[in-house]
A and B are shown apart, each in its own frame.
Chain A
Amino acid sequence: MDEFQEILEDFLIEAFEMIEQLDNDLIELENSPEDLDLLNRIFRVAHTIKGSSSFLNFDVLTHLTHHMEDVLNKARRGELVITPEVMDVVLESTDHMKALLEHIKETGSDEGALDVGPTVERLEAVLKGEAPKEAEEAPAAAAEPEPEPAEEEPDLSEMSEEEIEAEIERLLQERQEEDRKRREAKRKAEAAEVKPAESSGEPDLSDMSEEEIEAEIERLLKERQEEDRKKREAKRKAQEEAKAKAAQPREAKETAKSAPPATPKQKPQTKAAAPKERKASVEQTIRVDVKRLDDLMNLIGELVLGKNRLLKIYDDVEERYEGEQFLEELNQVVSSISLVTTDLQIAVMKTRMLPIGKVFNKFPRMVRDLSRELHKEIELVISGEETELDKSIVEEIGDPLVHIIRNSCDHGIETPEERVAKGKPAKGTVQLKAYNEGNHIIIEIVDDGKGLDPDMLKAKAMEKGLISEKEADQMSDKEAFMLIFKPGFSTAAKVTNVSGRGVGMDVVKSNIEKLNGIIEVDSEMDKGTTLKLKIPLTLAIIQSLLVSVQEEYYAVPLASVLETVRITPDEIQSVEGRSVLRLRDEVLPLVHLADIFDVERVFKMGEHAYVVIIGLAESKLGVIVDSLVGQEEIVIKSLGEYLKGIEGIAGATIRGDGRVTLIVDVGALMNMAKSVKSTLQNLESQEAVREKNSPADYNILIVDDSKTDRTIMRKALEPLGISITEATNGVEALNIMKDGSKSFDAALVDIEMPRMDGYTLASEIRKFNKFKQVPLIAVTSRTSRSDRLRGVEVGMTEYITKPYTPEYLMNVVARNINLDAEQRS
C-alpha cells in the first residue's frame, strides 16, 4: 500500500508539473498550429498521463486522456487542423484533466469527481469523419527507427586469435549500442518516463546470462567463419558481402529475442539508462519540503536577531573599554559573523525564490478564454517572467493579478468595433511586465484600452456615497484613479460574470498591502491604463526605520518611507482643525504617532520635530515622531493569537538589546490618521507641588549596585533626617521614579552598574518633563575629565568622586534639595 502511495505521489507531482506547461503550450499552439514540436509536447503529456493513470487504475482519467491523445495524435500527423473550436474542446478536456487530478490528490480516487462523458463525446466528434480511429500505440511503432548497419566488415580469416577476440568484443558492443539506441529511440518517441516494467518486456542482450552470451558468441563466430570461407572460395564480391551484412543484425535481433529473459538487472541496462538521465537533469536539483525551508528561514531570523544583539553589545563594550587590546579582536569576530550572517540570509532567501513565471503561466489561457467570452481580440504580452521572488509572495500575488488582468480585459480593452472607430488596431494588448528595482519587484499591467475617466469615477463614487462632493472637488486625477480600489466600487455599466461584481479591486489592494506592497495607477483616456505593483522581495526580514515615540521605539517598514524631514514647531500649520505641513510644493497632513496610538505624552517636545513621510499608493502622510533612531534589518514576528489584528500594528520584532519593538502597519496608520484631530499642543505635566514641612518630606533616591556603598551613603545622609529609597541598578531606579508613588527631590547615582549604567539612567530620566529639574548627583570613582564631561552631557547636576567625606556628601545633597539650615535643626 505504501509503495502504491509513493508511486501515486510521484505521479501527481509529475502530472501537475506537466500540466502547468500544458496550458501555455496549448495557447501557443493556437497561434502556430503548424508547430510540430509543440504538438508533440502536448501529445506527450496526454500520453504520459494516460499511461500512468491506467497503470494506477484511474479509469475515468484514462478514458479522458485516451481520447485527448487520439485527437492530438491526429493533429500531430497533420490530419486535423487546429481550429479555435477544436481548441476549446481540447482546453476543456485539459481542465477536466486538472480537476480529476485535483480530485485524486484529495481523495486518492478519480471516481465521482465529474462526468467526462460529454467532453469525451465532443472529442470523438472532432475525431470522426476525417479518419478512422488509430491504434493508440501507433506513434511509438512508427517512430521507431530501423537500425542500419553500414560499417565495413573486416576479413576474419586474416585475423589472429587476439584480433578475433577483439572483433567479437567490438561486435558485441556494437550490438549493445544498437540495442540501446533502439530502446532510446522508442523511449523518445513515447516520451514517457522510463518505466522499468515497460522496457523489460523486450528481451535483449542485456537480459542474457553469461553462458548464453558465451554460446551466442560461439555461434556468431562460426557463422562468420563459414561465411568467410565461402567468400574466399567463391571469390564473390560486393553483392554477397552486402547480403551477409544485412543478414547479421537481423539474426542478432532474432537470437536476442529468442533468448529467455534471465536476470533482468544487469549492468548493460543501467549503463544504457544512465546517459538519458544525465541528459534530462542538466540542472541538478533536489526537491525540498517547503516546511524545511520555512524552518530554515525561521532559524536565520533568529540568527539575524542574534547578530543584531551582538552588534549592540559590541557597541556597549566599545564604549566602556575604549582602547583595550581585545576590542580589536572582538571587532573582527563581530564583523565577520555579521558578514556571514548576511550572506547566509541572502543564500537562504534565494532558495525560497521562485520565478514569477509560475504565476504568469496561467494568464495566457485566462486571457484567451476571456477574449472569446467577451468577443474581444486581446493579446497578452508577458515579459520578465524569470524575475524571482519569495515563494510566499508568489503564492499571494496570483489572485490580485487575476483580478487586475480580468479588469483590464473586461473594462479596459474595448470591443474590436470600438477600437477600429477610435483608430486603434482591432486587437487590444495587455502587457504583463515584471522587473527588479532595488529590494523590490515591480509588476506592471499595461493595457491600451479606453483608460479611466477621473470625472466619471468621481461621479460614480459620489453616487455610491463613497466620497462627498467636497472631497470629489479636491481630488486630483491620480486620487480619483485610486477610487477603483474602494470597497463597493464597480465601474462596469453591465455586470458580467467576468468582473464587475463590486468585489475584486478592493481585495486586490488589501492583498497587495498585506505583502507590504504599493499600487500605483496611471491612466490616460483612450490611451490605456497602467497599474504598477511594487512588492518587496521577501516578507520575513525587512529593512525598517526605527523611530522613537515617548518611551517606545517603533519600526516603520522602510519600503513605505518616502523621506524624513526635521521641522520646527512653527512650520506646523493648521487647516480646518488639522495639522498640515508644507513640504516644497505639497501640503501633507500631519499627525503625531503618539496621538494615533493614544500614547501618553510624558516627554517634553524638543525645539525640533522629526517628520517621517510615509507613502502608500497615492496617499502620503507626515508622521511626527520624537526622534529618528536609525535603520535596521528586522525579522517580523507575529504578536500571536491574543493580540492579533490590533489596528496599526503589523507585528513585532526583537531587537539587538532583546527588547520587543512593534512594527507599524502603514496602511492602517493612514486610515487611523484621518480620525486624529490636531492635538499638537504641548502637554505640560501638572505635578502638584507638595508642601515640604519637615526633612522627612524630602525623598532621596540612592542608586548603586554595591550594598556597602548604599549603606555608606545612607549613613552619611542620616543626620539630615530625610527619607531615603534605594535601588540597585538603573532599570530599577527608573521604574521606581516612573512609578510615581513617590516624587523624588534628588537622586544619587553610581556610574558603573549592571543592566543600566548611571549615564544611561540620567539621560533616560531627563527625557521626562516632570524630572527635568530633579538634581542628579553622580557618585563615582571615575575621575577623568572625559567622564565628568560625559556626566554633564547626560544631565548630571553634580559630580562627586569617591572617596568622599560624609559631611561633603551631606552638604551637596542639602544644597541641591534646598534644605534650609533651620529645617535641618
Chain B
Amino acid sequence: MSTQLEQVLKKQQQQQKAPLETDIENIIQLVGFMVGDEEFAVPILGIQEIIKPIEYTRVPKTPPYVLGVFNLRGSVLPLIDLRMKFGLSRSKENEDTRYMVIKHNDEIAGFVIDRLTQAMRIPESAIDPAPETIHDEQNLIYGVGKQEEKLVSILNVEALLKRDF
C-alpha cells in the first residue's frame, strides 16, 4: 500500500517537474485544426472561442471567402471561410465544422474550419520559419512546427485578420 502511494507521489513529482524543465525554453501553445487535408494551428492566445456553426448573413460586395457576418452574443463579426481563403473549394458544413473566433488587438473575426484536431505545445526551437519556396504574399504562415511524426503550419493571426480587399 505504502509503496503504491510512494510510486504515485513520485509520479506526480515527475510530472510537476517535467513542465518546469521545458519552461525554460519558450513553449508555444497551439490549437490544431484541419482545413482541407492539411493541419494548421494558431496560438491559443489568439483564440477567443470556438463555436458550432450558426446562421450568418451574407454581405454583398465582398470576396467569396467572406461568407458574411454572424451574431456572437450581440456582436456582429465577419465570417471567413479558410478553405476558400486558401484556394480550396468551399467548405461543406458537417458536424465537425466549427467557427473559430480569432482576436488580435481590436480586430476580431470568425473562421470556418473543417475539424479541430488537438491542442499542442511546441517549443519555439521546433518552429522553423516558413520555407521560402512557399510563395506567400500575405504572410499567412508564421512558421512550420515540427512534431514527432508530422509538420503543422502555424498561421499568423495578425495576417489572417488583415483585410486584403
* Residues of A in contact with B (beta carbons under 8 Å apart): 302, 305, 551-552, 596-599, 637-643, 646-649, 652, 654, 658-662, 731, 735, 739, 741
Contact = CB atoms under 8 A, between A and B. Distances in A.
A643 B57 contact: no
A326 B138 CA distance: 58
Chain B contact-residue range equals 20 to 34
B56 interface: yes
Interface string B39-80: 000000000000000011111111000101111001111100
A642 B163 contact: yes
A599 B60 contact: yes
B70 A660 contact: yes
A394 B113 CA distance: 45
A661 B107 contact: no
Ranked nearest first, the 3 interchain pairs of A and B with the lowest CB-CB distance are: A597-B60, A660-B57, A652-B76
7 contacts: A597-B61, A637-B76, A639-B59, A639-B78, A640-B77, A642-B78, A660-B70
Contacts of B108: 640, 642
B106 interface: yes
A334 B77 CA distance: 29
Interface string B68-106: 111100111110000000000000110000000000001
A299 to B, nearest CB: 11
Interface of B: 55-62, 66, 68-71, 74-78, 92-93, 106-109, 161, 163
Contacts of B56: 660
Contacts of B66: 643
Contacts of A649: 59-61
Contacts of A302: 74
Contacts of B107: 640-642
Contacts of A731: 55
A598 B62 CA distance: 10
Contacts of B77: 640
A254 B68 CA distance: 84
Contact of B62 (A551, A643, A660, A739): A643
B68 to A, nearest CB: 8
A280 B23 CA distance: 65
Given A652-B69, A735-B93, A646 B76 contact: no
A324 B59 CA distance: 41
A606 B113 CA distance: 38
B163 A641 contact: yes
Contacts of B161: 641-642
Given A658-B71, A739-B92, A646 B62 contact: yes
A654 B92 CA distance: 26
Given A641-B107, A659-B71, 8 more contacts: A552-B58, A598-B61, A639-B59, A642-B163, A643-B62, A646-B60, A660-B57, A731-B55
Contacts of B75: 637
Contacts of B109: 640, 642
Contact of B61 (A552, A647, A735): A647
Contact of B60 (A637, A642, A648): A648
A596 B61 CA distance: 9
Contacts of B60: 596-599, 646, 648-649, 662
Contacts of A642: 78, 107-109, 161, 163
A646 B59 contact: yes
Q: Which of A305, A660, A661 has the most CB of B within 10 A?
A: A660
Contacts of A659: 55, 57, 71
Given A642-B107, A643-B62, A661 B57 contact: yes
Contacts of A599: 58, 60
Nearest to B162: A642
Contacts of A596: 60
B61 A648 contact: yes
Nearest to B106: A641
Contact of B59 (A643, A654, A735): A643
B76 A654 contact: yes
A91 to B, nearest CB: 43
